[in-house]
């Protein structure tokens, strides 16, 4: 199978490295031939080291995509528009696709998958969700005897790394992010990680696979980790919880889909609580199977490249033997769109933190507002005064409808004794 690779950055470079060490084994042990026929990078400087090793190279992806001898295009450049163009053109030219680009798939999967089906081509994207964890293959094959009722996942290595480092060693948010970038975990635009957009791309893909319906990532609720403070992490620890950025899918009663991304307080005894650092995990509750946890490195050069190479091996086995048709991806069709449950209609227990100028009387005003909105309080903790004129009050609510909670918080934030916008984090359960 002749491979054309676009992008020689963190993951593309890792794919070349793995193929250089493993291609001979695949030939001998599996009888498949993975030939890196052309490498495309952006500039002459970037292709130079590959050219020096004897690879055919180019700086023009479209020329490579037009080459009739290329069987599969591996897209590892990232972004939305250029990959959309490359991939749709490659499919029209009857080439298979392997990509790690969850952003493009979440946005344009509704174009890409029907086109692939029309041209009888495979589009494999194992590396797009959960890095090295084979979660896509599990969901398309291993779990098909069950229906997913609930999914909660840690699917952004950068955010999990930041939250873990802040919790373990008291590192600042900025320093932890720098480390994640140096390790090659973060997106080119790290606001995609921090603001939860990357998790939303992945949650949309997983929710589509769970529900069999198209889940539009632009319509799912997203809150990232930028507003999580060291104080919240330490308060959560005292309460017996860890704060994790989660992607969540719940099957609604009437076929509606509750898909969202936001930080959550996860109890220490939950399987997801011990998933730290760059490790990702997908926790599923299925009707027949029960609960299962898939876990492993969710980002980084070699773990992610290993998922790309696994797709190439799978593709070579399917196409060389003709044994496997492309999986139908009809669910990724806009006409088959899922009805999404608005976040205001969901219910949770909430961790709330208020910063007030003093403690006199304000507690009574806060509890009064909760009571007017029929919100029951589980506990109230008044933290030590850190700065003169700055008091921190932590409230844990009982399970409450989000719309009610937002109304109450708006009223509390407008109290003259409340000095900062309130913090609100949902509990996983
Ligand atoms: N890093 C990770 O852990 C993971 C990444 N992914 C996904 O994998 C993909 C690649 O990510 P990653 O390797 O980290 O990103 P990098 O930014 O490290 O690599 C992307 C590479 O593509 C090159 N490129 C950009 N435009 C073109 C072009 N027109 N022609 C040829 N090459 C081009 C870039 O060149 P230049 O630098 O000169 O712009 C760069 O070398 C992304 O879609 C990302 O979301 C998925 C899972 C994990
Ligand atoms: N930036 C992403 C990379 C993998 O998808 C992450 O941190 O998880």
Is the CB of 82 inside a 6 Å radius of any atom of ligand 1?
yes
- Residue 182 lies in domain: 135-299
Domain final residue, candidates 275, 299, 323:
299
Same domain, 276 and 158: yes
Same domain, 310 and 423: no
State the ipTM, two decimals: 0.99
DSSP secondary structure letters along 399-424: SEEHHHHHHHHHHHHTSTTB-SPPEE
Instruction: Name the 3-class secondary structure at 337.
Output: strand
314 within domain boundaries: yes
Same domain, 191 and 80: no
Taking CA atoms only, the protein residue closest to ligand 1 atom 6 is 100
How far is CA 73 from each of CA 70, 76, 124, 257, 261, rounded to the nearest angstrom? Answer: 7, 10, 11, 33, 31
Distance 137 CA to ligand 2 centre (A): 19
Among all bound ligands, the one having the nearest atom to the CA of 160 is: 2
**Strand 35-40 to 57-58 pairing:** parallel
For residue 338 the two structure tokens come to: 């899922």
For residue 310 the two structure tokens come to: 């696994």
Is the CB of 40 inside a 6 Å radius of any atom of ligand 1?
yes
Quick one: which of 86, 36, 79 has its CA closest to 309? 36
Taking CA atoms only, the protein residue closest to ligand 1 atom 16 is 9
Distance CA 72, CA 354 (A): 55
Among all bound ligands, the one having the nearest atom to the CA of 41 is: 1
| Residue carrying structure tokens 């084979």 | 134
Quick one: which of 287, 303, 192, 236 has its CA closest to 295? 303
Distance CA 319, CA 183 (A): 35
Write out the catalytic residue numbers.
202
Q: What are the φ and ψ backbone dihedral angles of 250, each rounded to 5 degrees?
A: -130, 135
CATH code, domain with 200: 3.30.360.10
Is residue 422 a contact partner of residue 412, using CB atoms and an 8 Å limit?
A: yes
130 within domain boundaries: no
Phi-psi region of 316 (alpha: psi -120 to 50; beta: other; left: phi over 0): alpha
Beta strand spans in 133-278 (E): 148-154, 221-222, 241-251, 257-267
Is residue 5 a contact partner of residue 312, using CB atoms and an 8 Å limit?
A: no
- Ligand 1 atom showing the smallest separation from residue 307 Cα: 47
Distance CA 245, CA 262 (A): 6
- Ligand 2 atom showing the smallest separation from residue 128 Cα: 5
Average pLDDT, integer, range 218-234: 96
Same domain, 143 and 188: yes
Distance CA 407, CA 378 (A): 19
**What's the mean pLDDT when you consider all of the chain?**
94
129 within domain boundaries: no
Same domain, 235 and 175: yes
Distance 156 CA to ligand 2 centre (A): 5
Largest distance between two CA atoms of the chain: 77
Distance 66 CA to ligand 2 centre (A): 30
Same domain, 236 and 271: yes
Quick one: which of 218, 209, 229 has its CA closest to 261? 218
Pocket of ligand 2 (CB under 6 A): 131, 156-158, 185-187, 193, 198, 298-299
Q: What are the φ and ψ backbone dihedral angles of 29, each rounded to 5 degrees?
A: -90, -35
Distance CA 113, CA 74 (A): 16
Same domain, 10 and 107: yes
**Strand 290-297 to 391-397 pairing:** unpaired
CATH code, domain with 119: 3.40.50.720
Which tens digit of pLDDT belongs to each residue from 261-308? 999 999 999 999 999 999 999 999 999 999 999 999 999 999 999 999
Cβ count within 10 A of residue 379: 10
Is the CB of 391 inside a 6 Å radius of any atom of ligand 1?
no
CATH code, domain with 423: 3.30.70.260
8-state DSSP, 328 = P
Among all bound ligands, the one having the nearest atom to the CA of 125 is: 1
Same domain, 418 and 374: yes
Cβ count within 10 A of residue 173: 17
Domain final residue, candidates 237, 272, 299:
299
Per the annotation, where are the binding residues for L-homoserine? 187
Average pLDDT, integer, range 70-95: 98
Among all bound ligands, the one having the nearest atom to the CA of 76 is: 1
pLDDT, residue 384, reads: 67
Same domain, 107 and 205: no
CA 244 to chain centre: 12
167 within domain boundaries: yes
Distance 163 CA to ligand 1 centre (A): 25
Is the CB of 42 inside a 6 Å radius of any atom of ligand 1?
yes
pLDDT, residue 254, reads: 86
Is the CB of 190 inside a 6 Å radius of any atom of ligand 1?
no
Q: Residues 83, 84, 89, 95: is their CA dihedral positive or negative? A: positive
Same domain, 182 and 197: yes
How far is CA 325 from each of CA 50, 76, 208, 320, rounded to the nearest angstrom? Answer: 33, 24, 21, 12
Q: How many helices (H) and strands (E) does the chain have?
A: 14, 18
Same domain, 13 and 120: yes
Cβ count within 10 A of residue 288: 8
Distance CA 205, CA 210 (A): 9
Which tens digit of pLDDT belongs to each residue from 383-394? 766 677 789 999
Average pLDDT, integer, range 65-69: 97
Is residue 239 a contact partner of residue 273, using CB atoms and an 8 Å limit?
A: no
Taking CA atoms only, the protein residue closest to ligand 2 atom 3 is 299
8-state DSSP, 141 = I
8-state DSSP, 329 = -
Binning pLDDT at 50, 70 and 90, where does residue 322 land? Answer: low
Same domain, 324 and 392: no
pLDDT, residue 382, reads: 87
84 within domain boundaries: yes
Average pLDDT, integer, range 42-68: 98
**Domains in the chain, number:** 3
Which tens digit of pLDDT belongs to each residue from 341-377? 999 999 999 999 999 988 778 999 999 999 999 999 9
162 within domain boundaries: yes
Q: Is residue 324 predicted with pLDDT exceeding 80?
A: no
Q: Is residue 103 predicted with pLDDT exceeding 90?
A: yes
The full length of the chain comes to 429
pLDDT, residue 328, reads: 63
350 within domain boundaries: yes
| HSE of 252, CA atoms in CB hemisphere, 13 A | 17
423 within domain boundaries: yes
Distance 380 CA to ligand 1 centre (A): 47
- Ligand 1 atom showing the smallest separation from residue 299 Cα: 3
pTM comes to 0.97
């Amino acid at each position: 199978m002749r491979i054309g690779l676009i992008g020689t950055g963190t993951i593309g470079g890792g794919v070349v490295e793995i193929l250089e060490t493993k291609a001979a084994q695949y030939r001998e042990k599996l009888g498949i031939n993975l030939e890196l026929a052309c490498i495309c990078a952006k500039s002459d400087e970037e292709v130079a080291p590959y050219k020096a090793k004897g690879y055919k190279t180019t700086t023009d992806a479209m020329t490579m995509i037009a080459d009739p001898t290329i069987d599969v295009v591996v897209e590892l450049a990232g972004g939305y528009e250029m990959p959309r163009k490359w991939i749709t053109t490659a499919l029209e030219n009857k080439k298979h696709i392997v990509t790690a680009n969850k952003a493009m798939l979440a946005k344009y999967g509704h174009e890409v998958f029907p086109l692939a089906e029309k041209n009888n081509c495979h589009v494999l994207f194992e590396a797009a969700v959960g890095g090295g964890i084979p979660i896509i293959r599990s969901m398309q094959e291993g779990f098909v005897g069950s229906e997913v009722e609930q999914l909660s996942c840690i699917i952004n290595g950068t955010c999990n790394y930041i939250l873990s480092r802040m919790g373990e060693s008291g590192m600042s948010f900025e320093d932890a992010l720098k480390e994640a970038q140096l390790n090659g975990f973060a997106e080119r635009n790290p606001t995609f990680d921090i603001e939860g957009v990357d998790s939303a791309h992945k949650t949309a893909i997983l929710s589509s696979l769970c529900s069999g319906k198209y889940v539009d990532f632009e319509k799912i609720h997203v809150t990232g980790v930028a507003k999580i403070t060291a104080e919240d992490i330490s308060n959560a620890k005292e309460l017996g919880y860890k704060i994790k950025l989660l992607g969540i899918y719940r099957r609604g009663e009437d076929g509606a889909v509750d898909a969202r991304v936001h930080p959550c307080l996860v109890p220490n005894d939950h399987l997801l609580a011990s998933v730290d650092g760059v490790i990702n995990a997908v926790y599923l509750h299925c009707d027949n199977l029960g609960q299962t946890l898939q876990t492993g490195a969710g980002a980084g050069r070699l773990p992610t490249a290993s998922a790309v190479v696994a797709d190439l091996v799978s593709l070579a086995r399917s196409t060389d033997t003709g044994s496997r048709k492309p999986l139908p991806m009809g669910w990724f069709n806009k006409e088959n769109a899922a009805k999404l449950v608005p976040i205001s209609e969901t219910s949770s227990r909430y961790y709330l933190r208020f910063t007030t100028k003093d403690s006199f009387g304000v507690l009574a005003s806060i509890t009064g507002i909760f009571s007017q909105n029929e919100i029951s309080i589980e506990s109230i903790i008044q933290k030590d005064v850190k700065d003169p004129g700055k008091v921190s009050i932590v409230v844990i609510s009982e399970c409450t409808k989000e719309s009610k909670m937002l109304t109450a918080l708006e009223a509390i934030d407008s109290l003259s004794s409340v000095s900062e916008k309130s913090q609100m984090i949902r509990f996983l359960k």
